[in-house]
Structure 1
Amino acid sequence: MKKKSGTKPAAKLSDDELLEFVQRETFRYFWEGAHPVSFMALDRRYRSERDDDKVTTGGTGFAVMAFIVAVERQWVTRDEAIERLSRMLDILERGTCYHGVLPHFMDGRTGTTIPFWRKDDGADLVETSLLFQGLLCARAYFNRDTPVERRLRGRITWLWTEVEWNWHTRDGRKMLYWHWSPNNGWSLDHGIRGWNECLITYVLAASAPRYGVGPEVYHEGYASGRDFLNGKDYHGIELPLGPPSGGPLFFTHYSFCGLDPRGLTDNYADYGAQNLAHARINYEYCRRNPKNHKGYGPSCWGLTASDDPDGYSAHAPDNDNGTISPTAALASMPYTPKESMRALRYFVKAGDKLWGRFGFIDAFNETRDWHADTFLAIDQGPIIAMIENHRTGLLWNLFMSIPEIQAGLKKLGFKSPHFDARIT
């Protein structure tokens, strides 16, 4: 990928040209900004260079998806992407795992665990899910009958079959648990209940070819959460699932970089309608601006988890300190294309305040005159993936075509147009 210095998005580009430009420049985070040894995604990068070996497994899943987009759009060659994916797999194969489950953070040189917190020093099932969402898309995409691509698929399949999803039911309980540590066991006691970003975890656990879980784990665990069912009205919009006002927008992004919500239904919701309602409520809240934050309006919106002036927080209508995260509106492009494009144009006009070497900065707060000096893997990745799904459905079509995924979704009671015919 040829490097451009000082490149900024051009306001005169057409909508499609601007989307392409933003995707490509954001991709630099995962290409030029990747770890120099493993090419896994660093947890975060800064406006200025800083050495760091801490890579993120979930963010690397988004990196893999970004590689697929880059090959399809000819930003990099197929061989270049395969070479980097192979280097990632080198670390993932020899790195520390816990019953096949990866930690949240790893050392990009050695593959050893970097603790997230004092007791969070082992397996992270949700981060592992985000990683395999990307790897399984790569297995589907790199489908040529060549020795190199056959080997790549085989390595991904081996890692996939080794994940012991059922271990995280804690001896057969009807729920998945987020963390396990060889030092602290289940002491974090974090059961994964919905509605949140973790639908992908239950889908993969049900789809696993070797250590899978039964449908009761989904129905009695995830779907029984206090904030699972909603049905209330916010700004004239009915929200089927989730906490009051929907929560942070990454709920509509992380699982749905691969899972296609269009026509995806089960006993609880139509997930296309769910995500549309969530995004519209978030937009309407910012447009109405009940707390009178500076900058909020129809062109400047989007609350989700990101850095902020006080550290890091999952921003939402019920947790709003004036921080807008560009990824929130941009990764919502499939749901709110007009509103998201309007926000994109607004962010472009802000120039260097919001734009840096890896695309848009993580967040900003005009009320407090604060602009992040960071770019985060888990925020940059969904920008690329969800814009691509909006434009072509590429990643949705890949993930939903995977036989194990279709079987797992059917096991949980889901229906999708992908089960009958490929949709575009």
Structure 2
Amino acid sequence: MFFKIAFKTLGIFSCQILLFFSSINGKETDEFPVILTANTLSPLMERELRGCFDFFWNEWNDNPSSPTYGMTNGDYVGLKKYSPLAIENQGFYFTAIIIGVERGWITLDEGEKRILITLKTLRSLKRIKGFWYHFIDQETGKRGWKDSNNIELSNASAGTMLLGALAASEYFGGEIKKITIELYEEMDWKWFTNPVTKHPYLA
């Protein structure tokens, strides 16, 4: 039941974030036609859905020698500002890939390869009690905002990323599931919980 609720919540939240991210570039395009099928939502929503997918798919770091290889960008793309990589965006990226496979925009193998690359990079980044910093510098792979000491260790961002990874692990299985479970089991949620109130801290 927990996973069903979590996946539904992530799906709604992901759609909201995807809609926002797809609009910040201020770029209108008719590069992809809408093909009407029995599953078509509407021409507008089909274009929006495809644009959201393309945003995450195209903004990934494709440099194998980079410490953030495979991670996708998002927060300041198109605004010509320094853009650290947000951990939660990786979770949205994972769910976007699932949608891309289901709608035939990419193959199953292409989606699996991308997610594996990203998960392996996430596994290599510095964590404390299994949690990542909210923002990661895309050039160094270290604490974001050019190695600022003011970036928090984030259970909210890490949790959002994990929900996307868990969805991918159920969809793809195999090594994706193995790495996801490994990352999940290394996260000490009790450490992020107030021992008096029993409520989780939020960061």
TM-score, normalized by length of structure 2? 0.70
State the match for 1:112 in structure 2.
142
Stretches of structure 2 that go unaligned for 5 or more consecutive residues are 1-27, 64-68
Could you tell me which of 69, 72, 90 is aligned with 2:99? 69
8 Å CA contact 2:125–2:141 kept in 1: the answer is: yes
SS at match of 1:44: coil
**Cα contact 1:106–1:112 (8 A) shared by 2:** yes
Q: What SS does the aligned partner of 2:85 have?
A: strand
Secondary structure of the residue that 1:123 maps to in structure 2? coil
Alignment partners' CA distance in 1, 2:148 and 2:140: 20
Secondary structure of the 2:61 match is: coil
2:61 is equivalent to residue 35 of structure 1: yes
2:176 is aligned, of 152, 168, 174, to 152
> In the TM superposition, what is the alpha-carbon distance from 1:15 to its structure 2 partner?
4.7
Alignment of 1:116-135 (within 5 A): 120-135=150-165
Q: Aligned residue for 2:3?
A: none
1:44 aligns with 2:68: no
Instruction: Give the drift of 1:157.
Output: 0.6
Deviations 1:72-94 (A, max 9, x none): 11111111111111111122111
Q: Which has the higher strand share?
A: 1
Cα separation, 2, equivalents of 1:42 and 1:53: 8
Give the aligned partner of residue 192 of structure 2. Answer: 168
| Residues 1:24 and 2:24 aligned together | no
- 2:198 paired with 1:178: no
Which has more helix, going by share of residues?
2
Task: Say whether residues 1:80 and 2:106 are aligned partners.
Answer: no
Does residue 1:7 correspond to 2:30, yes or no?
yes
Which residue identity lines up with residue 127 of structure 1 in the other structure? S
CA distance in 2, matches of 1:116, 1:58: 18
Is the CA contact (8 Å cut-off) linking 1:53 and 1:109 kept in structure 2?
Answer: no
Q: Work out the number of aligned pairs and report it.
A: 167
CA contact (8 A) 1:54 1:107 kept: yes
User: 1: distance between equivalents of 2:196 and 2:183?
Assistant: 23
Do the aligned partners of residues 176 and 70 (structure 1) sit closer, same or farther apart at CA in structure 2, a change above 3 Å counting?
A: same
Is the 8 Å Cα contact of residues 125 and 178 (structure 1) preserved in structure 2?
yes
Contact 2:130–2:183 under 8 Å retained in 1: yes
Counterpart CA distance in 1 for 2:83 and 2:92 is 18
Structure-2 change in CA distance of 1:115 and 1:135 (3 Å):
same
Separation (CA, whole Å) in 1 of partners of 2:73 and 2:179: 22
In 1: Cα distance, 2:82 partner to 2:119 partner: 20
The structure whose Rg is larger is 1
Aligned to 1:296: none
Question: What is the CA-CA distance between 1:172 and the residue it aligns to?
Answer: 5.4
CA distance in 2, matches of 1:73, 1:95: 32
Identity %: 24
Asked if the contact 2:137/2:143 (under 8 Å) is kept, the reply is: yes
Ranges in structure 1 where 5+ consecutive residues have no aligned partner: 144-149, 180-424
C-alpha displacement at 1:53, in angstroms?
A: 5.7
Contact residue 9 and residue 18 of structure 1 kept, 8 A? no
Could you tell me the TM-score, scaled by structure 1's length? 0.36
Cα-to-partner distance string for 1:195-228 (whole Å, 9 max, x where unaligned): xxxxxxxxxxxxxxxxxxxxxxxxxxxxxxxxxx
